[in-house]
A and B are shown apart, each in its own frame.
Chain A
């Protein structure tokens, strides 16, 4: 019979502790409750945090259950349901902006495109559903990394390859961008992934305020930008679209 792995048993005990009673616990509460050395408990919590099962409140330093854990359970939002909820709103966004629209979710170490609306100019375009995009340089990826600790972990641990002269590869600068994204609620990619292409993205949240995906408007940099910045009306349009989809995602099943 296979031997049980002690660290996993301990991790399970930590999760059970965080799932019951009080919502947030400090390191010493956890270590004393489970009879573990502080260092051991901290190691377990850090690992769980990297996997997204545990989150640490930045102000108090206390721990709580993380986004990934909820995703495992019933709150998991099917990506195909996300697409069907997003359909009407993303059509309208593409139509009003004249640019293409993508919906992306975290998958493995990148962004999986689950929905794509063509740029409405009747030119030949190829459906990009199922394609992967990098986490660290695209607007979709930055939004996911800013709001989803699992995505952030992937982007931080990943190679952050230099794709253009403007790609941010330095960790500190990257973290600053995520901070900025969280504070203003959207992310941009101005020629950081593809030369000549700009994008702006905003997060989709479900009813538990979980980040379940992101919506991006993508197009030629000269159309999307003015003086090197994304045009404000496009930012508003993407955020409004993401809010509408979020509302629909929270509206329950159909």
Chain B
């Protein structure tokens, strides 16, 4: 084994390869991977963020499709290969971003409504009727919130003139970005396939988690005609072949929402395995095997992935709104550091937090507290506290928020977290990773390929076409780049956790109703 690896550095000379397309919130990327899961070439292009009103965020779907074609062509060129070397195309995408288009012309009827967009806040309250935000939770795993796709589609039908009639007569197609990219890749108006995968469908609030099919009653309640919905397929199967372009004739063989793709790319194939992606915000997902677990602790229940005809694998998901964003805030708003990585330098100049705790509830508290009236606090201030202690509290905030999600997952699933696989930009922060391991009291492991999202899409596509035989072969590709082990005594951990929770209490119910 070590012989094969140490033969040098020119390991990706020959194909075949898998091309993964990541249609993300800020950019579209294409990465070409070899059989070892190594990156051969990358291309990326940003698209415009459109803000028509406060709280509204849109994307131009036409621009996105143009960019996707461009990054695919460029990545293939940079890799110095032809389509003959490419075995399959995989897709991963920003989740929940919603669009409707005319199936006869291929024209979007409106800009895509992005997942962060809050225009449906009134609508989701109304949809809760007398039941409240958990009206559809049992069937769909989701609370009524502005993120999810179904209510966004309803908003478009209500607000774009004449759209509902066109939709009911079958001229309009609904899709999240996976559907839009696959439909266009496979020919668009010339025979494009209209599909979505179970992970993306699980973010619409229209699919039942138990049957993995659209629920006519919920569709009716939310006001989305079933005629425009795509067919729900597994995450790993050949949906069709690319028509035209540099990859003409190549099978399109996977689709996964970005966080689920990262779970797959991190090889979290067994029950209890979890990954956490540390970016501006943080998304943590835990594999709960073949059962959708209803959360009583504020987590989302979602589909992790489904390979072909195999049983679906479910996941619990917890998100943290502000993690990397807090470091950026320290840099841009407070001016305490010049670059994001300097937070570690500043924090390392002291031994501990000096008694200070920073709860960045900038837009309320997410899982497991769910208090939209909460606002950020720095608690425990004394004359002793310096900016270095605050820097330390900033990093600890990310660690403790992860601990709260992990505790909620354990409560819901009854499965203890044995180790946490991490990815994302903040994994470069050694002090943060060590702190995370200390507060979780579990090893924290960083894999060697940072691009786990694209890798997950490539893996799922490769499985579908037999490039890799099974998930065991993928696991053999997984390489540990670094591991942090707990180094904090239990009494201190408990004391600090108690202090953190006290600080969290002080953020709650800050905004009065009349201020909203």
User: Taking beta carbons and an 8 Å cutoff, which residues of A are in contact with B?
Assistant: 78-81, 83-84, 87-88, 91-99, 116-118, 120-122, 125, 127, 129-130, 219, 223, 231, 233-234, 236-237, 253-254
CB-defined contacts of A91 to chain B, threshold 8 Å: 448-450, 481
Sort A-B residue pairs by CB-CB distance and give the 7 closest, nearest first: A98-B5, A84-B428, A80-B341, A120-B479, A237-B9, A81-B341, A80-B344
> B425 an interface residue at 8 Å Cβ cutoff?
yes
B11, B450, B481 — most chain A CB neighbours (10 Å): B481
Q: Is the CB of A97 within 8 A of B6?
A: yes
A83 vs B38: C-alpha distance when bound (angstroms)? 21
User: Cα distance A87–B484 when bound, in Å?
Assistant: 16
> Does the CB pair A98–B481 fall under 8 Å?
no
B429 contacts chain A at the CB level, 8 A cutoff: yes
Q: Cα distance A88–B452 when bound, in Å? A: 12
Determine whether the beta carbon of A120 is less than 8 Å from that of B5.
yes
List 12 other contacts, CB 8 Å, given A96-B38, A237-B8, A253-B338.
A78-B341, A80-B345, A80-B428, A91-B481, A94-B448, A95-B448, A96-B8, A98-B6, A122-B479, A122-B480, A125-B480, A127-B482
C-alpha gap A144/B450 in the complex (Å): 28
The CA-CA distance from A254 to B482 in the complex, in Å, is 24
Residues of A within 8 A of B484 (CB): 127
A117 to B448, CA, bound (A): 8
The verdict on A99 contacting B428 (CB below 8 Å), with A78-B342, A92-B39 known, is no
User: Are A83 and B341 in contact (CB-based, < 8 A)?
Assistant: yes
Pick from B39, B341, B430, B480: contact of A118, CB under 8 Å: B480
Count of interface residues, chain B, beta-carbon cutoff 8 Å: 33
- Please tell me if the beta carbons of A127 and B483 are within 8 angstroms of each other in the complex: yes
- A95 with B38: CB separation less than 8 A: yes
Tell me the chain B residues, 237-270 only, with Cβ under 8 Å from chain A: none
Asked whether A92 and B341 contact (CB < 8 A) given A98-B5, A120-B479, A121-B2, the answer is no
How many angstroms from the CA of A116 to the CA of B340 in the assembled complex? 20
Q: How far is the CB of B276 from chain A (nearest CB, A)?
A: 17
Q: B residues within 8 Å of A by Cβ?
A: 1-2, 5-6, 8-11, 36, 38-39, 338-345, 425, 427-430, 448-450, 479-484
CB neighbours (8 Å) of A92 from chain B are 38-39
Distance in Å: Cβ of B74 to nearest Cβ of chain A: 19
Nearest CB in chain B to that of A74: its residue = B338
Q: Which residue of A lies closest to B445 (CB)?
A: A118
Give which listed residue, A79, A223, A233, contacts B9 with CB less than 8 A: A233
* Nearest CB in chain B to that of A224: its residue: B6
The contact sample of 23 A-B pairs, CB cut-off 8 A, is A78-B341, A80-B342, A81-B342, A84-B425, A92-B38, A93-B9, A94-B479, A95-B449, A96-B8, A96-B38, A98-B6, A99-B6, A117-B448, A117-B482, A120-B5, A121-B2, A122-B479, A125-B483, A223-B2, A237-B8, A237-B9, A254-B339, A254-B340
Partner of A78 from B1, B5, B36, B339 at Cβ < 8 Å? B339
Inter-subunit contact B9/A234 (CB<8 Å): yes
Question: For B39, what are the chain A residues with a Cβ–Cβ distance below 8 Å?
Answer: 92
Provide the bound-state CA to CA distance between A183 and B136, in Å.
Answer: 70
In the bound complex, CA of A95 to CA of B9 (Å): 9
A-B contact count (CB 8 A): 99
Q: What separation, in Å, do the CA atoms of A99 and B8 have in the docked complex?
A: 10
Do A97 and B8 touch (CB < 8 A)?
Answer: yes
Q: Given known contacts A116-B482, A117-B448, A121-B1, is B428 in contact with A83 (CB within 8 Å)?
A: yes
Question: In the complex, are the beta carbons of A121 and B5 less than 8 A apart?
Answer: yes
Nearest chain B residue, comparing its CB with the CB of A237: B9
**Which residue of chain B is the closest to A88 with respect to CB atoms?**
B450
Residues of the A chain whose Cβ atoms lie less than 8 Å from the Cβ of B480: 118, 120, 122, 125
B-chain residues with CB within 8 Å of residue A129 when the two chains form the complex: 430
Question: Which residues of chain B are within 8 angstroms of A118 by Cβ–Cβ distance?
Answer: 479-483
Please give, as numbers and ranges, the residues of chain A lying within 8 Å of B6 by CB-CB distance.
97-99, 219, 223
Minimum Cβ distance to chain B for residue A196 (Å): 15
* Assembled-state Cα–Cα distance A231/B482 (Å): 26
CB pair B2 A236 closer than 8 Å: no
On whether the beta carbons of B339 and A253 are closer than 8 Å, the reply is: yes
In the complex, residue of chain B having the shortest beta-carbon distance to the beta carbon of A93:
B9
Q: Are B450 and A87 in contact (CB under 8 A)?
A: yes
Identify the closest chain A residue to B340 (Cβ).
A254
Q: Taking CB as reference atom, which chain B residue is nearest A231? A: B8
A209–B443 Cα distance when bound, in Å, is 39
Partner pick for A80 among B2, B9, B429, B482, CB 8 A cutoff: B429
Complex Cα gap A237–B9 (Å): 7
The 8 Å CB contact of B428, one of A87, A130, A219, is: A87
A236 nearest CB neighbor, chain B only: B9
State in angstroms the CA–CA spacing of A93 and B1 once bound together: 17
Q: Give the distance in Å from the alpha carbon of A81 to the alpha carbon of B338 in the complex.
A: 10
Given A87-B428, A91-B450, the answer on whether A78 and B345 have CB atoms closer than 8 Å is yes
Q: How far is the CA of A71 from the CA of B286 in the complex (A)?
A: 45
Q: Is the CB of B2 within 8 A of A98?
A: yes
A254 CA to B481 CA, complexed, in Å: 23
CA distance A62 to B369 in the complex (A): 67
Question: For B5, what are the chain A residues with a Cβ–Cβ distance below 8 Å?
Answer: 97-98, 120-121
CB proximity of A187 to chain B, nearest CB, Å: 19
Could you tell me the distance between the alpha carbons of A234 and B7 in the complex, rounded to whole angstroms? 10
Tell me the complex Cα distance, A64–B450, Å. 42
**Alpha-carbon distance A122/B483, docked complex (angstroms):** 11
Q: How far is the CA of A84 from the CA of B430 in the complex (A)?
A: 10
Minimal beta-carbon separation of A8 from chain B (angstroms):
27
Complex Cα distance A116/B6, Å?
18
Q: Could you say which residues of chain B place their CB within 8 Å of the CB of A93?
A: 9
